[in-house]
Structure formats: C-alpha cells, structure tokens
Amino acid sequence: MFRLPAPGGHPPRGPDHFAICRLISRKPPRDKRLTGAADGYGEPVSTYLDHAATSPMRSEAQDALLTELGRVGNPSSQHRAGQRARRRLEEAREELAAALGAHPGEVIFTSGGSEADSIAILGSLAARLERPRSLISAVEHPAVQEARGRGAEVLAVNSRGVVEDTTWEAADEKVAVISVVRVNNETGVIHPLDGLIAASSRTGAWSHSDAVQALGHVPLDFHATGLDLMSVSAHKIGGPVGIGALVVRRGVTPAPIGLGGGQEGRIRSGTLPVALAASFAAAATAAVAGLEAESERLVALRDGIRETASACGGRINGENCAPHVVSATFPGIRAQDLLFLLDAEDIHASAGSACRAGVYRPSEVLLAMGAPEDEAMSTVRFSLGHTSGRGDVDRLREVLPVAVERARAAG
C-alpha cells in the first residue's frame, strides 16, 4: 500500500497533492505489474535508476566485507591480531591506490565522499593561513559548497556547466585551494581539469576535485590528472556505505579538521574499519576493470533513456556527460509529482532539486547553468550502474509517457 509522506515532509497539501494521490491509487495491483529482484527489505524492485545516489553492492565487495567481519583486531594495536588487521588494511590501501592511479601512501580513508571534500577544503584553508581565499565552481557538491570558508569565491559556469577559460583569472597567490567537480552528481557533466591545473600551477593553490561520480565511469588516474587532492566514495560504485577516501599528493599537507589519534597520516582520526576498506578496494578494482566496455554498455542504455525522456517532452541537460547519468527537465511538471508516480510503478529515480529539512528547493547546479527556477524544480535524474540492463530502459519507456501525462494533468 502506498503511504503518504509524513506531514511537513513536502509542500502543504492542496488540490495538486490530492490529485497525485488519486492518480497513484489507480495503479494496478502489485501482482499485475512488472517486478524484479528484491531490494533487501522484502520489497520487489522492478527498475532501479538511482545508482548515482547509491549502487547495489557488488558480489566482490560483499565477499570481502563478510570475510573481514568474521575477524577481529584493531589495526592500531600492537598484538598479533591487531597487526594482522593492519596488514589487511594496508593491502586494501594498496589495491585501492592501484585502481585510482595513486601511491598507497597518498590514500587517506574517510567516512565517505562528503568528509573527504570537507577535509580537502577546510583542511587546506587551515593549513595555509597566509592564503585566506578559496575558489570553487558554482556546480559543486554541497559538501564543497558549505566548506568553502569566508574568503570563498564562486566560479561561474556556462550553460554547459563548465567554467570558462577566462574565469580562472580570479586565482591568485592568496588562494589556498581551488575545487572543481570532475563529474557533476546531478547532470553527469564531465568537467575538464586543464583550467584548474593551470590555475593551480600559476598561483601555488592546491587543486581539488570531487571525483565521486567519476570513479568507475570515466578514466581516472590521480597522478595523470595533476591534482593535489581528490575525493572518492565506495557506495557509488557498488561498495559499502560508510567509507570513502581523500587522495593527497605527496608534499601536500591539509590540516586535520577533527581531533583524535591521527590514524590516517595525522590528517584524519578514528579507528579504521578494515572490513569496509577491504570491501571498498574490491569494489574499486571491479569497477575499473573493463571500464571501456562497461562505459559503452551504459552509453547505449543512457541514450535509450534520453530518447524516452525527449519523446515525453523532456529536455536533456548538459553536454559531454558521463555514461551513467541523465538529467531531464519536464517543463510544467513538479519533479516530486513525477517521482511519486514512477515510484508507484517500482521505478526509482531522483529529483534534480535538493530536499533539505523537508523543503524542496531548486537545484543550484541547474540555476548556475542558467535554468529558470521553475524548470530547476521540474528536473529528474536517472542514473545507471553495474546492475542496469535493457529491461530497465524498456520498463521506463513503457511507464514514463503515462506518468508524465498524469503529472502534467495534476499540475
């Protein structure tokens, strides 16, 4: 049975709200709709198109996690159990570093991509007090936006979601760190790094990129990029939730932003989760193996979603996008209404707008790209991953036209 969100979770109820509820209530019984694998909570999932939010765990990652969960030992302890845990932790670090094109000593484990971003920005500002400024693009993840500091300057982007070459002139010797997302988490736009690296080399500012959505989807080699700092996360590539990494080029020393034992190169403190690290490494290895073939497979699926969205009146946002993300704006439709209707048919996607404290707001990414506020509130993100297949695209092609029509009628 479909359950309405708790009061206060969405805009005040009115005619539109109840219209959507009536439309959802007309859906056929569950046993007469397409259903697929269970989601782990006993609920069938027909079409999962939200891999950019989190991706199902890969079998390799599950195996590594379960193996380590059966063992004991704090990797900071000196006894044999602790040292065995330390060896396994360092093996995971080496494996992850190889997948990232980095040296093992450059990999700092964190609790996820958001913490890695926070350390990169706040840690750089704290370590370089003589450089009180930071520069970030207007399309960064909230973890970067909110950590940018008082002396921050936002770099405008064009309609393609990319910083123009002339904009980099804002960088000077007072800038501690410059951050540009490698693959945007909402639109999938691949941002070139050459302007960032050139500005960093010219001014001495440290360069950082949030590569959470890049890992496993576009070629990613830390040393080849020329970056000083790079953030990645496990659960976006089929690894476990609760672990990520900040890759820190040797010679770059961001200050710690939390107190404790300084277990990770005195940059990050806390007892290290060996099981999560091993699982992350296994997922990363699997994600980068056969990357070219997997990208081609996802491009074909992505293009199918784009065609379906366009046929329903949707406009695709961004150019030069990663193979796994489709951002589509449906003018005249509220994204949350469309998502309710899709969810009622076991199709799972996300809004292009952020929901914080129960209040829907237009996507800052799309606004920065020049989209009107109403269109920024009418955008849906479909994202693919390692479990996606042609059946997912076919199911969306079957359901989306009717869902769009009903959402538009309700609005």
Structure tokens at 110: 């964190």
Query: Of residues 21, 312, 321, 355, which has the active-site annotation?
Result: 355
| Separation CA 158–CA 163 (nearest Å) | 6
C-alpha angle 257-223-120 in degrees, rounded to nearest 5: 15
Question: Cβ(248)–Cβ(228) under 8 Å?
Answer: yes
Place of tokens 């506020």: 373
Amino acid making up residue 127: A
Backbone angles phi, psi at 244, to 5 degrees: -150, -165
The per-residue b/e assignment along 223-244, b for 16 or more CB within 10 angstroms, e otherwise, is eebebbbbbbbbbbbbbbebbb
| Separation CA 131–CA 68 (nearest Å) | 43
Structure tokens at 237: 């590539």
Q: Which residues have CB under 8 Å from 211's CB, separation 6+?
A: 182, 183, 220, 230, 231, 232
Q: Which residues have CB under 8 Å from 198's CB, separation 6+?
A: 168
- Dihedral of alpha carbons 164, 170, 171, 172, sign: positive
Tell me, yes or no, if 312 is annotated catalytic: no
User: Pairing relation of β-strands 229-233 and 206-210?
Assistant: parallel
Instruction: From 320, 345, 321, 318, select the one nearest 329 (Cα to Cα).
Output: 318
The per-residue b/e assignment along 402-411, b for 16 or more CB within 10 angstroms, e otherwise, is ebbebbbebe
Q: What is the largest CA-CA distance in the chain?
A: 67
Which DSSP string do the residues of 308-346 spell out, in sequence order? HHHHTT-EE--SSB-TTEEEEE-TTS-HHHHHHHHHHTT
- Burial of residue 343 (number of CB atoms within 10 Å: 0-12, 13-18, 19+): middle
Question: Cβ(21)–Cβ(244) under 8 Å?
Answer: no
C-alpha angle 37-282-221 in degrees, rounded to nearest 5: 115
Give the catalytic positions in this structure. Answer: 355
